[in-house]
Amino acid sequence: MWDHRLEVAAFDLLCALVRPDVDAAFVRQSLGRKVPFDALLRAAREHSLRPQLIRALATLGWEGVPAIQRPALENFQQLHGALALGMAEQLGRVSDAILARGLRCAAFKGATLAVILYGSLSAREYTDIDLIVPAEALDDAEDVLEALGYASDHDDRRFRRAFLGYQRQTAFVHPAQAAIDLHWDFTGVHLPFPLTPAEIWDSLETIKVGQRDVPAITGADLALLLAGHGTKERWRSLGWVVDFAVLVACRRDLDWSAIYRRAQAAGCGDNVLLACRLAERLLGVAVPSVLVRLLGQRPRVETLASGMIDELRQGESGRKTGRNLVDIELCDRRLDRIAASVRLALTPTISDYRAMPLPSALWPLYRVTRPFRLAASALASRLQLRLE
């Protein structure tokens, strides 16, 4: 039977291995004697940290790694390296095609983040490609993807805009390629975000991804993006904390005070403070000195950090069962969180269409009927609980 205490110990050991400055003493004390290697490998797989784990173990001379496990790790590394090269080529081809159309685009997360933070395509796990284009270029960018053989689950663009557009991204798949998430913003319509698309276009950098040059989000914009993305997802993956920690550790030259002020102006200053606190408490990366005093003034950040760390250490059993509205933690102010919840309650989604299919001419009615449907669903759930 799976030992919950073992799960926590494996997570703590993983933190010691994947931090920018490996805690070798703790690793040698724990690996093999306190934490079986299988438990550590499960934690690394769950948090998409196998490349970082392999690099750390190699640095320590594979000490404590069972001989039977090392070939499997090396095989994963080779397979992941091949997949990373293929995704890099795919990213470059799509990016080139969009740029050739006279459109602007930028890559973020995925392969570009692996290169920017770790210096290698295969040094980070990722399974898809994220691209952002200006909102006004969305139709043309979708034309480019479709010409390259990509397709959305919903062919009708009007349908996508009406019921999926609130996400401000659309997934495209190819029969023989990785999926592409095409964004025109970094978060849904109901939420603020530390970084806006308008801010990135004049500060993009060209990154060599495989054999191609790709425009990417870097520097201060990347710090804001990582802090916002992690908070929007409630930092449910240690891999995202590691990415931010590596950025902090290697870019002390960034103006962290200005980064915080930009996020604060967007109503998301706590995102930056929270990301810094998680990186410090989980991975030993010191909070930039200019932010230490600000952290002391935001008890909400400490409360959030403690709760999120507890959820991460507890694994699946310790996580919140519901995913609804966890992204409102992006908002610093209670009033903004309430407003975001109201906006989401009034925004039609595909669930509304499935519950009551209407012809396109009547789609605007969903803004009126959605609150009643949600209320009815909540009432039905409450009655079911009472019956049980």
Say which range, 51-60, 63-72, 351-360, 372-381, has the weakest mean pLDDT: 372-381
Pair 353, 307 in one domain: no
Check whether residue 364 and residue 314 sit in a common domain: no
Q: What is the pLDDT of residues 221-240, one digit of tens each?
A: 999 999 999 999 999 999 99
What's the domain range around 352? 348-387
Answer with the residue of higher pLDDT: 155 or 108.
108
* Residue 242 domain-assigned (yes or no): yes
pTM for the model: 0.93
Helix (H, G, I), strand (E, B) or coil at 250: helix
**Residues 167-226: tens digit of each pLDDT:** 999 999 999 888 999 999 999 998 999 999 999 999 999 999 999 999 999 999 999 999
Gap between the Cα atoms of 141 and 320, Å rounded: 37
* Position 332 in a domain: no
Q: Please tell me the total number of residues recorded for the chain in this structure.
A: 388
Contact between 35 and 56 (Cβ < 8 Å)? no
What pLDDT is attached to residue 33? Answer: 77
List the CATH number of the domain containing 306: 3.30.460.40
Is residue 187, in this structure, part of any structural domain at all? yes
Is 338 inside any structural domain?
no
pLDDT per position as a tens digit, 89-98: 999 999 999 9
Q: Is 73 a member of any domain?
A: no
On whether both 155 and 301 belong to a single domain, the answer is yes
Per DSSP, 117 falls in state I
Tell me: pLDDT of 163 over 50: yes
d(CA 376, CA 162): 22
The three-class DSSP label of residue 111 is: helix
Whether residue 259 has pLDDT greater than 50 = yes
Burial class (CB in 10 A: 0-12, 13-18, 19+), 350: middle
Co-location of 184 and 130 in the same domain:
yes
* Number of domains making up the chain: 3
Residue in 378, 328, 360 with CA at minimum distance from that of residue 162: 360
Same domain as 238, residue 268: yes
What does the DSSP 8-state code read for residue 118? I
Task: Supply the pLDDT for residue 29.
Answer: 86
Q: Which two tokens stand for residue 220?
A: 């201060």
Lowest-confidence segment of 57-66, 81-90, 308-317 by average pLDDT: 308-317
Q: Do 55 and 114 sit in the same domain of this protein?
A: no
Confidence class for position 321, pLDDT limits 50, 70, 90: very low
Q: Is residue 82 situated within a structural domain?
A: no
Do 153 and 228 sit in the same domain of this protein? yes
What tokens were used for 215? 């425009």
User: Cβ contacts of residue 375 below 8 Å, gap of 6+?
Assistant: none
- End of a domain among 13, 34, 68? 68
Number of helices followed by number of strands (H, E) in the chain: 18, 6
- Which two tokens mark 182? 């095409």
